[in-house]
Structure 1
Amino acid sequence: MSQNLDRLEALPLRENLRGMSPYGAPQLDVAVALNTNENTHPVPQPVVDAITERVSRAAGQLNRYPDREFTELRTALAAYLDHGLTADNLWAANGSNEILQQILQTFGGPGRSVLSFVPTYSMYPLLASGTGTKFIAGQRAEDFTLTAESAAKQVREHKPDVVILCSPNNPTGTALGLDVVEAVYEAAEESNSMVIVDEAYAEFARFGTPSALTLLEGRPRLIVTRTMSKAFALAGARLGYFAAAPEVTDAIRLVRLPYHLSAVSQATALAALEHSDVLLSTVEDIKMQRDRIVDNLKRLGLEPAESDSNFVFYGGMENAQQMWQNLLDQGVLVRDVGIAGHLRVTAGTEDETTAFLAAVENYLQQK
C-alpha cells in the first residue's frame, strides 16, 4: 500500500489533490449493511420486469448514440415533480454527484468558491477540489442546526459563487426551513451566486415539510437537486436530476459530455417513473422504521436527532468507534461519519432495524 502511495505521489498530480483520499464507505460482507443510506428493500418484481422490457428494447439500438437531450425522460421527471415544471426545467445525469459536478464545472472553477455548512455531505469539498473550486466551510450551531440569519450572514461575508444547502442534511438528517433558503437566496443576490438545495432525501421528509421546489418560480439562480438512488431504490442505476430555470439547463449543456446519459440509463429511469407508485410504496415503511429507531435509541439512553431522511444520526455513547466495531462484530454495519461521539444508521427493513436495535442494546448491556 505504501509503495502504491509513493508511486501516486511521483505522478504529476495537481497540487490540490496531493494527500487527499478518495470518497468511499466500507463495502463489507455483513448480514446487515446500514451504512450507505440505500433503500434496502429490493426492487419489486413488476418494476424489474418493466425495466427489463425497456432495456431490452434499447439494447437493439445500442449501435446508435442515445437521445442527447433525453427529452422523454425530462418530460417524465417534470411530471413526477409537478409544481408546474416542464421538460425545459429538468436536467439529469449519472447520479446527483455528477449533477453537482456539472453545476460546479459551470458556475465554479479556478478563482471561484462554493460555500456549504458543515457537517454536511462529505462529497461537496471533494467535488469542489475536482473542479478547482475553493470550498468554504460554513458554520452551524453546536446542535448542528442552521438559522436563516446565520446562513445569510455567512453568505454576505464570504460572497461565494455557489452555495449548497443540503436538506434534509446528510449526516444529521434534519430538513431546513424554507426561510433559510429564502434568506440565503436573498443574500446571494449581492454576489450573483447560484444557490443549490440538495434534496436527495426529500421523499422521506416528515409530513408537512416543504420542498424548495415551491420557491423556484421567479428565482433564476436557484437549483433543486434530487436523486433516484434513495426513495426509488435505484442506487445501482445512477440517476440524479435537478429542477431549475430553463437558462440553467442551457448553461449545463456547455460542460456536459457528449451523450452523457446512456440509453440503458434512460430506459431504466423511464420504467421506474412509470411505476413510481410501486417503487415509492416502501417509503412509508422506511419512515416507520426510522421513527422506531429514534424512539428506541432514546429509550436506551442515546441521543438521536429527529430525522427527515431515511437514516438516523445519533450520539450519547461514551466511545462511538468502540460501538461501531462492536456492532460490526455482531454483523451490523453502520457509518462512522467522522464526527466525534456520533454514528449514523440507515433505516432498513423491519428485520434489519430489529437486528440493529438488538445489537445496540446488547452492546450497552456489556458496558
Structure 2
Amino acid sequence: MTSLDDLPLRDELRGQSAYGAPQLDVAVRLNTNENPYPLPEPLVARIAERVAEAARGLNRYPDRDVVELRTELARYLGRTTGHLVGADQVWAANGSNEVIQQLLQAFGGPGRTAIGFEPSYSMHALISRGTGTAWVSGPRHADFTIDTGAARREIAALRPDVVFVCSPNNPTGTATDAETVLALYDAAQAAKPSLVVVDEAYGEFSHQPSLLPLIEGRPNLVLTRTMSKAFGAAGLRLGYLAADPAVVEAVQLVRLPYHLSAVNQATALAALEYTDTLLGYVEQLKAERDRVVTELRAFGYRVTDSDANFVQFGRFADGHGAWQAFLDRGVLIRDNGVPGWLRATTGTPGENSAFLDAAKAVFTTHSTEHSTEYSGDSRTDKESA
C-alpha cells in the first residue's frame, strides 16, 4: 500500500496531521464548539423558502460577488457592534477557513511568513503551510495572554507578512484587548507593511466589545468571523471578513469563480433574518458558560477566563487519561494538546449538568497536584473547531 512518504508531497506538509477531532457516538458531545441548539422551526421553513427560490435558478451561476449577502452581513455588524461598515468592506466565503485561505493566498505564499501566538487556532498554521507560507509560533504568558513585549520584538526581528491574533482565543477562551492588537499592528507596520488578521470566530460570546472599530483608518487590519458558532450554522459553512475595501479587492483576485453557491447564500440570508432569535440562544449559552466556570472552580479546578462558548480547565497530571475518564462517563470533550488542560464546549443546561457531574467525579480520581505549569511555549497542531 502506498503511504504519504511514497508520494511527491511538498516538504512543509511532511509529518503533519490532518485537521480533525474525534466524532464518537456518546450521550454528550462537547468537543467541537458547536452551538447545541438546532435552528428554530420558523427559520428552517424560511430557509426552505429561500432555497426553493434559489433552486429555480440553479441552471445559472450564483452571484459571484455575493452583493446581497455582503450587504446584510455589513448591516448585522453595524447593528451588533455599533461600528458601521459598508458592503464594500465585507467579503464572504465557505467558512472562515476559506476566508483565511484567501487572505494567505493573497498576502502570504512562498517566500513569505505568517506568525501566530500558540496555543491558538491550529488552522492558521495549517492553512499557512498549505499555501506555502512559512509559519512561526509566537509567545504567550503563562495565563495564555499574548506576551506583547516579546511579540513586538519577534515581529520586529521576523518582519512577517501576516500576523494572526485570536480574540477570543481558541482553545484557551481568552480575549485579546484592543491595546494588544494595536501594539502588534503598529509593530507589524513598523517592520514592513504587514496584514494583521483578528480572528473573532467566537466574538458574539465575549464579555468584551468587538474589535471591529479598530479597522477604521488601518488598511492592513482585517477582522474575520463565522456563522458557525453564534448562528448555530456549523453545517452551513459561511465565514466572512470586514476590512478596508482594498483588502476585499485583493481576495477577489484569488477566490475561485462563483465560490459561494446560491444555496449557501440563500441559507445565510435566511439566518440573518432571525438574528434576534439566534442571538437569544447566544445569551443563554453565555450564562451557561459562566455557570460552568463557577462550578468547575468550586470543585477545585483551575479554569482559564473564557470569552467563548467553551471552557479550558485543568490541571491534570495525565490530560489524556482525564479525557478518557470523561469519555467513560459518556461525555466527549477535547484533549486540545495544551499540557495539563482540557476543553469543554458549552452545551444545553442538561448537557452541562452531565459534564459537571462527570467533572466532579474525575477530579477525585485524577490529581492535579503533580502537573507542571504551562511555560508559554507549548506548540500544538491538535486543536479542532
TM-score range for the pair, normalised by the shorter chain length: over 0.9
* Superposition deviation, residue 88 in structure 1: 0.2
Residue aligning to 2:99: 99
Residue aligning to 1:38: 34
Matched, 1:152 2:147: no
Residue 201 of structure 1 aligns with an amino acid whose one-letter code is: Y
* Superposition deviation, residue 152 in structure 1: 2.2
Q: Secondary structure, in 3 states, of the residue corresponding to 1:241?
A: strand
* Superposition deviation, residue 151 in structure 1: 2.7
Q: Taking structure 2 as the reference length, what is the TM-score of the superposition?
A: 0.92
Residue aligning to 1:303: 302
Q: Deviations over 1:21-68 (max 9, x none)?
A: 110011111111000001011111111111111011111111110000
Q: Percent of aligned pairs with the same residue?
A: 56
Q: Deviations over 1:238-290 (max 9, x none)?
A: 00000000010000011000000000000000000111111111011111111
Alpha-carbon distance between aligned partners in 2 of 1:274 and 1:60, rounded to the nearest angstrom = 21
Alpha-carbon distance between aligned partners in 1 of 2:84 and 2:37, rounded to the nearest angstrom = 31
Residue aligning to 1:113: 113
Moved more, 261-270 or 275-284: 275-284
Residue aligning to 1:175: 175
Alpha-carbon distance between aligned partners in 2 of 1:156 and 1:14, rounded to the nearest angstrom = 29
Alpha-carbon distance between aligned partners in 1 of 2:365 and 2:12, rounded to the nearest angstrom = 45
Residue aligning to 1:331: 330
Moved more, 306-315 or 153-162: 153-162
Q: Deviations over 1:203-248 (max 9, x none)?
A: 0001xx1322111111000000000000100000000000000010
Q: Secondary structure, in 3 states, of the residue corresponding to 2:290?
A: helix
Alpha-carbon distance between aligned partners in 2 of 1:318 and 1:156, rounded to the nearest angstrom = 37
Pairs within 5 Å for 1:160-199: 160-190=160-190, 191-199=192-200
Gaps of 5+ in 1: none
Paired residues of 2:139 and 2:147 also in contact (CA < 8 A): no
Paired residues of 2:93 and 2:259 also in contact (CA < 8 A): yes
Q: Deviations over 1:57-95 (max 9, x none)?
A: 111111110000110000000000011201000000000
Residue 197 of structure 2 aligns with an amino acid whose one-letter code is: I
Q: How many residues align?
A: 361
Aligned alpha-carbon RMSD (Å): 1.1
Matched, 1:347 2:346: yes
Residue aligning to 2:3: 7
Residue aligning to 2:311: 312
Paired residues of 2:111 and 2:133 also in contact (CA < 8 A): yes
Residue 204 of structure 1 aligns with an amino acid whose one-letter code is: F
Paired residues of 1:148 and 1:179 also in contact (CA < 8 A): no
Residue aligning to 2:205: 204
Q: Deviations over 1:93-113 (max 9, x none)?
A: 000001000000000000000
* Superposition deviation, residue 148 in structure 1: 3.5
Residue aligning to 1:25: 21
Residue 220 of structure 1 aligns with an amino acid whose one-letter code is: P
Residue 218 of structure 1 aligns with an amino acid whose one-letter code is: G
Moved more, 274-283 or 128-137: 274-283
Residue 178 of structure 2 aligns with an amino acid whose one-letter code is: L
Q: Taking structure 1 as the reference length, what is the TM-score of the superposition?
A: 0.96
Gaps of 5+ in 2: 367-385
